[in-house]
Amino acid sequence: MHFFKIQSFLLFLLISFSIKAQNNPKENLSNSEKKALKVIKMVNKNLNANHNISEINFTVKHEVESHPQTNTFNMELIKVKNNNQIDLDKINTILKNTETEIEKLDGSDILKTIYEANGSYKNEELHIKQTHCFIEDKLTALDLETLSPFETIKKGVITHLNSSCGFNIKSGLFNVCDSVSVNGKMKDSDENTLPIIKENLINKENNFEFIEFQNDYKYDFITTQELKGKQVYHLRFKPKSKHAKYSGDLYVSSKSFAIIKVNYRLVHERKLDENMNMRFLFGIKGAITQKSTTVIYQKNKDDKYFPSSIKRNIIQSMHTNRKFKLVECKPSDGMKVKIDLTLDITENKTATLLITEN
C-alpha cells in the first residue's frame, strides 16, 4: 500500500510539472531561444518606424537566368476541322524540329533576360513600368514559363494556323485559355518584377510570416556580427508548427532593430496553381520543389528601409500528357484543331533584382 502511495504521488508531481511547463513554455527555452525572441519582439515593435515607407521612386534592373531541362517533349497535330488548307504533315514537321531543339535543353544552357524598369510606391501601392528588355540568348523564350502547355500550343501550333482570329484552348469539357492569338507579346517586367518586390516589401499590410507569427517558429540567437558596417544580431529560424512554411536567417540592426538582411527558403514542396485543380481538371501537374530568397535592405532618403537587392532561386517542374482542342473564335464554322501534347520539364531559375532610389 505504501508503495502505491509513493507511485501515485510521483505521478501527480509529473503531471503537475507537465501542466506548469505547458502554461509557461518560456521555462523550456534555451538562453539562445530567449535572446532571439527578445530581438524578434523588438523587430515587431519597431517595424513601422523602420520599414513603413510612405513614398519612394526607384529604378530596377531585373536579371533572370534560366536553366531548363527537358525530360520529355512531344506535340502533334491530330486533326483539323473546318479548314481544308491546313497541311497537317507540314506543321507536324515544324513541330518535330521544335521538339528536337527543346529536347536538347539539358540544364547546362544559360538562358538570360534582363529587364529595366521604373517603379514607384505611394499610399501602399506598388507600380512598375518596363523601359527596356534585353534577351541575351535566342533560346530564352524556351524557359518553363513559355513552355507551359498553353504557351507551347500558342507558339508551336497557332503561329502556323492561317487565322486572323484568336483561339480558345480546351481540355476535355473545360475552357482553359481564352482568345489566344498569334500576336501575343512577351510578358512585361511589371508582371515578372512586381510580385518579387511586393513579396519582400515590409509594411503594415505586408510582413514576413516568420516575423509576425512567432508561435509557429523556433528562433535561435547565433551571434553578433558586422554586416555592411553595421553591428547586427544574426538569428536563425525554423518551423515549430505545421503552419510554418519557411526556414532561414535574419540579420537585425543591434541599434534600431531594423531588418538589414533576410535569407529564407521553402521547407516543403509547393504545388503551382494551388487555387485550381490543374492536375485533375486539365491533366497538368506543376510544383515548386525548392525556393530560396535573399534580400538586403538599405535606408532611403526618409531613413526607412527598402529592399535594395533581391535574389530568388526557384526549381520548378511541369508535366502534362493530354489532348487539347483549339476552337477558333468565330460565331460559326470556326476552325477546330486537336493536339496531342506530352511535356515534362524542370527548370532552375535565378532572378536578381538591383533597386536604386531616384
Structure confidence by residue, pLDDT tens digits, 89-114: 888 888 888 777 777 777 777 778 88
**Quick check: is 101 in a domain?**
yes
Categorize the per-residue pLDDT at 187 as very low, low, confident or very high, splitting at 50, 70 and 90.
very low
**Quick check: is 23 in a domain?**
no
pLDDT in tens, 197-231: 888 988 777 788 999 898 999 999 999 999 988 89
DSSP codes, 37-73: HHHHHHHHHTHHHHH--SEEEEEEEEEEEEEEEEEEE
- The boundaries of the domain holding residue 74 are 30-357
Q: What mean pLDDT, rounded, does the chain reach?
A: 79
Q: Would you state the cell numbers that stand for residue 278, as one nine-digit string?
A: 490543374
- In this structure, is the dihedral angle defined by the CA atoms of residues 27, 30, 35 and 36, taken in order, positive or negative? negative
**Quick check: is 325 in a domain?**
yes
Q: Would you state the cell numbers that stand for residue 106, as one nine-digit string?
A: 539539358
SS3 141: helix
Overall residue count recorded for the chain in this entry: 358
- Please work out, in degrees rounded to the nearest 5, the angle formed at the alpha carbon of residue 215 by the alpha carbons of 275 and 262: 75
Phi/psi class of residue 128: alpha, beta or left (left: φ > 0; alpha: ψ in -120 to 50)?
Answer: beta
- Please work out, in degrees rounded to the nearest 5, the angle formed at the alpha carbon of residue 226 by the alpha carbons of 224 and 232: 50
**Quick check: is 288 in a domain?**
yes
- Beta pairing class for 305-328 and 167-171: antiparallel
pLDDT in tens, 52-78: 888 899 999 999 888 888 888 888 888
**Quick check: is 7 in a domain?**
no
**Quick check: is 90 in a domain?**
yes
**Quick check: is 320 in a domain?**
yes
Q: Which residues contact 242 (CB under 8 A, 6 or more apart)?
A: none
pLDDT in tens, 241-254: 988 999 999 999 99
How many domains, in total, are found in the chain?
1
**Quick check: is 58 in a domain?**
yes
